[in-house]
Structure 1
Amino acid sequence: MTIQDLKSQNLILFEAISGSKSFGLNTPTSDTDIKGVYYLPKEKFFGLEYIPQISNETNDEVYYEIGRFVELLIKNNPNILEILASPKDCILYQHPLMEQLKIEDFLSKLCKDSFAGYAVTQIKKARGLNKKIVNPMPKEKKSLLDFCAVLKGYETVSVNSFLTENKLKQEQFGLVNIPNSKGMFALFYDENKSLGYKGIIQKETSNEVSVSSIPKGEKLVGYLSCNQDGYSTYCKEYTDYWNWIDKRNEDRYNTNQQHGRNYDSKNMMHTIRLLQTANNILSTGKLNIRVPNREELLDIKAGNKEYDVLLEMADDLITSIEKHYTTSSLPEKPDEAKAIQTLIQIREKLYRQDL
């Protein structure tokens, strides 16, 4: 099913503008994100085609099946609680049955982990981006040869340097495993290409070195060390980096480059916002997603604060969250039985009118 199917079949129960516009953080260049709730046609819900979530290709329009929506509300999922708490001027449509789901029935102390925990993962994500910005990776990918070295006395020299210095070709080498010595190999060289050696690696994309059968009496050239774990780590980082390059939001990236702070400022703005929201929920027992400190948060988005200052700000908020958690009058978790009963009542009315 698609979002258009939901609309053409009148299956939508709730629809609202979300993201920066609902938070009051939108600027002239902000996108319009839409979130919503739907129910499935009875043949899909009662059959084997349960669909918990439907979104468009860019993921800026996401709709949740009513059961999945309630399940995530019970878990105090930040995105889902914020949908239910949408400001009135952002609500595009609300089915009367949705009025049975009240935000006060779901707010609980679980928000400490769901909001703050998510914010901490965002801090880690920002640090990861910091690493990518500060340490760009060349497009030309290294091969396993770049992680191999030849012993030279008490030192090592890279295989590539060794090959160049001695005017040798890696394809004419034969390697033999050295027992009880991880990543160490004995090196032999076939001057006449007559011994069938497999080379150090068989092709540029090889993930491991090759070993060969060495005839008796062949002269040992030296010993080779292969850091295969280092190469595996490099390959993962290379793939992550270039996937990020392919998928990154150029406008957002350019903003980060312009302010020169070497962190994702938009990500950090939302991290601080999430922590402030969790702090307010625990201290007041209410969720108001429209921020009272728009200018401060946009200042963070613009990259006008040092990264370490933001981390200190986050640490202070986490300390405050822990303090309010112990004194909050909110329940430990939502009344799951009540929530499920409400869900059942909503579904009964929806499917009864469809029969």
Structure 2
Amino acid sequence: MENKQIIFKGYIDRAPEITDMELRKSKISMREVVRSMEDGEIVVKNLYLSCDPYMRGRMRDFHNSYIPPFQPSSVIEGFGVSKVLHSKNHKFKAGDVVTGFTAWEEYSVIHNTAQLRLIDNSDDDDNSVPIPLSYHLGLLGMPGFTAYAGFYEVCAPKKGESVYVSAASGAVGQLVGQLAKLHGCYVVGSAGTTHKVDLLKNKLGYDHAFNYKTEPHLDASLKRYFPKGIDIYFENVGGPMLDAVLLNMAIHGRIAVCGMVSQYSLSTPHGIHNLNTLVSKRVRMQGFLQSDYLTLFPRFVEDVTAYYRQGKIVYIEDMNEGLESAPAAFVGLFSGENVGKQVVRVAAE
């Protein structure tokens, strides 16, 4: 059978382009693949693949990071939802649906299954709201857990506090804002298009939202929405936005640094000039990874599943069709083309 793959061509120090990846087609014999399987391995058919900004860092030849770089001329890897076809692993059987790291290809042999999670929809019944499988890459996946752990553990929110979220309609930001509203906070978000701003206000429940691209002075914009200062800033962007936020933090405010997507493709990142406010306003600024809080994952799944099924939160996906669309879907993350969590559907469920 044919196995399509997305190959990483080589390291870059600029914004990613579609031509940095290539579609490769090869023939495989599933019989031979199964025959050569080792104990502990599984063979999967990939159903959905996740496009995430952190993957840009893996396109740089930089080894001093929490995750190693991609290897040139090798298949790109990332989070996915996959169906088990064959198994030599006692934890998984044929027919199971799993989520975790896989390769950007139609069929994969997964050697390291330690971080794979079985998707169990056995609690679904005729009266419950079904959870789409692709949501295990967003709402109930790494982005959703990043929002959950970052907001509750790093931000340490209190009811009535003022919360600002940048890239607020993205995979992480859209859930942060909704969790903050459920917690009783005042929430403002920013995004890069009028459509996204409308979604923030009319679908995701933000108190206010603005298009940062049409605001000539970010400092003045933030003062307008936060006249008493920002208690919590969930940082997804970096650069000039962070500089403006630092001028508008409230005393004892908290900044959870989740990502800085505006800086990932710059050879020389934007310098931050207002760090002195961390001292004068006693602000705590903390970077974090969702993997720091994995002990909370079962509670996260339980809480967010309940919120979704009760209609207390919604989630927005941007779905591309076919493995061949994956490079364009990934590249679009860095120009704001996606609306919500970017996912690629590789095959029918």
TM-score (norm 2): 0.23
Structure number having the greater helix percentage: 1
